[in-house]
Amino acid sequence: MIETFFGTDSLVMNPGPLTFLAALVSGLVFGFALERSGFGSSRKLAGIFYFTDMTVLRVMFTALITAMLGLSLLVGLGWIDLETQVYLIPTMYWAQIIGGLVFGIGFVLGGWCPGTAAVGMASGKGDAFLFMVGAVLGTILFNLTQGWVSPLQEGGTVQVAFGIPRNVFALLFTLVAIGAFYFAEWIEKQVSGGGRYLGSTFLQGMSVILLIVAVAVAVLPGGETQAVAGSTGLLAAVESGEDHFEPEELAEALAGGAEDLVLVDVRDRWEFDKFHIHGAIHVPLSELSQALAPHKNRGRIVLYSNGMTHPAQARDALARLGYDNVFLLTDGLQGFLDRCLKPISLRDAPRSEPEATKVRSWRAHFLP
């Protein structure tokens, strides 16, 4: 199994020299590839909007297809776990639609995007430098207006292939890419007399190779096998009770200041405001995936509600998204109140002095 920098927390939590070296080499190679593709010229980049030069479409589709098919092959062969080793960006339609429109307008007006502007600036292009200055100022403006635009970023969830089976989507998208390659050559020939690859052996051979790889990806078990394996592991944990977090264990961890534990209250907001376990955060069920993404497979996540039905359903949904560190609070909030915060004098049976001391300390911590 291949471990990525993301999967080992080496990108943010514990970066090292190897991480920085990989980033530097990747950036240099990426910039070199852009320059060799002609992306150091704003005239060549803007040509796609006037159908005079379709280099942008060809290069971008080639990069997308290569990355998609390569990653899908690794996942299908079981060499990489898509859920734990790759960061999947949450899908936020309004933010991405509006951002795409703003990006497109800037691209057609200036002839640069931030990445290609960096390449142009390295080549000594003055307009690329001005575009980079604008990109930096735009980033600062976005940060200053974050409170206004944040509603566009709410409710995002990871949607791989728009709900279509991933391997099927890879095959369909490859067919779209092949069609786009032929269209790019045809339109160039009609508008500017280009299209030198139209009908060439090279384009035909590349199309056949891409189609063969896409069909291979489509017949591999891929994510379905991983999903079955994940479900089997979850069922085993349920059978052995390892998916539960006992109230006493939770109280001890929270009172001791455990830093690797996230306690999540999934009840309605008014119930949370009325009373909640000290140290818990409130997250609506519909926002769990996005809110808990930074804690995915890092530490322990404990869900609780008044009962255990909603936390169990949420745990199952998160498990399908690759979370293997989510637990349920046994007997929910009421179980925590009865077993940890109920006064010793009201218990059905007497308790030992050490147990009574613990209960008093928990009451002092959770009921100040």
Amino acid at 237: A
Amino acid at 240: S
pLDDT of 76 higher than 90: no
**Those residues with Cβ within 8 angstroms of residue 297's Cβ, 6 or more apart along the chain or in another chain:** 84, 322, 323, 324, 325
Looking at residues 274-292, what average pLDDT do you find?
90
In a domain, 231, yes or no: no
In a domain, 117, yes or no: yes
In a domain, 9, yes or no: no
> Is this prediction's pTM over 0.85?
no
Q: What is the pLDDT of residue 234?
A: 58
In a domain, 236, yes or no: no
In a domain, 287, yes or no: yes
Q: What is the CATH number of the domain that holds 286?
A: 3.40.250.10
Co-location of 99 and 193 in the same domain:
yes
Co-location of 127 and 218 in the same domain:
yes
Co-location of 200 and 264 in the same domain:
no
pLDDT of 149 higher than 80: yes
| Average pLDDT value for the chain | 86
User: Could you tell me the pLDDT band of residue 37, with boundaries at 50, 70 and 90?
Assistant: confident
**Those residues with Cβ within 8 angstroms of residue 166's Cβ, 6 or more apart along the chain or in another chain:** 72, 160, 222, 223
* Residue 5 φ/ψ region, left for φ over 0, alpha for ψ in the -120 to 50 degree band, beta for the rest: alpha
Co-location of 93 and 188 in the same domain:
yes
Co-location of 265 and 189 in the same domain:
no
Q: What is the distance between the alpha carbons of residues 7 and 114, in angstroms, rounded to a whole number? A: 27
Co-location of 310 and 192 in the same domain:
no
Co-location of 32 and 138 in the same domain:
yes
Q: Under a CB-based contact definition with an 8 Å cutoff, are residues 311 and 317 in contact?
A: no
**Those residues with Cβ within 8 angstroms of residue 286's Cβ, 6 or more apart along the chain or in another chain:** 155
pLDDT of 156 higher than 80: no
* Domain of 309, in residue numbers: 243-366
Q: Is the dihedral angle over the CA atoms 186, 48, 44, 173 positive or is it negative? A: negative
Q: What is the pLDDT of residue 13?
A: 63
Co-location of 30 and 170 in the same domain:
yes
Mark which of 159, 191, 222 sits at the end of a domain.
222
Q: What is the pLDDT of residues 224-275, one digit of tens each?
A: 444 444 454 555 666 656 778 999 999 999 998 888 899 999 999 999 999 9
Q: Under a CB-based contact definition with an 8 Å cutoff, are residues 300 and 262 in contact?
A: yes
Co-location of 27 and 78 in the same domain:
yes
Write the DSSP symbol of residue 346. Answer: G
Three-state DSSP class for 319? Answer: helix
Compute the chain's Rg from CA coordinates: 27
Co-location of 253 and 165 in the same domain:
no
Rounded to a whole number of angstroms, the distance between the first and last alpha carbons of the chain is 48
The kind and range of the H/E element at 223 are helix 223-240
In a domain, 228, yes or no: no
The tally of domains found in the chain comes to 2
**Those residues with Cβ within 8 angstroms of residue 346's Cβ, 6 or more apart along the chain or in another chain:** none
Co-location of 275 and 208 in the same domain:
no
Co-location of 324 and 207 in the same domain:
no
Q: What is the pLDDT of residues 290-309, one digit of tens each?
A: 889 888 888 899 999 998 88
In a domain, 51, yes or no: yes
Mark which of 168, 192, 222 sits at the end of a domain.
222
In a domain, 28, yes or no: yes
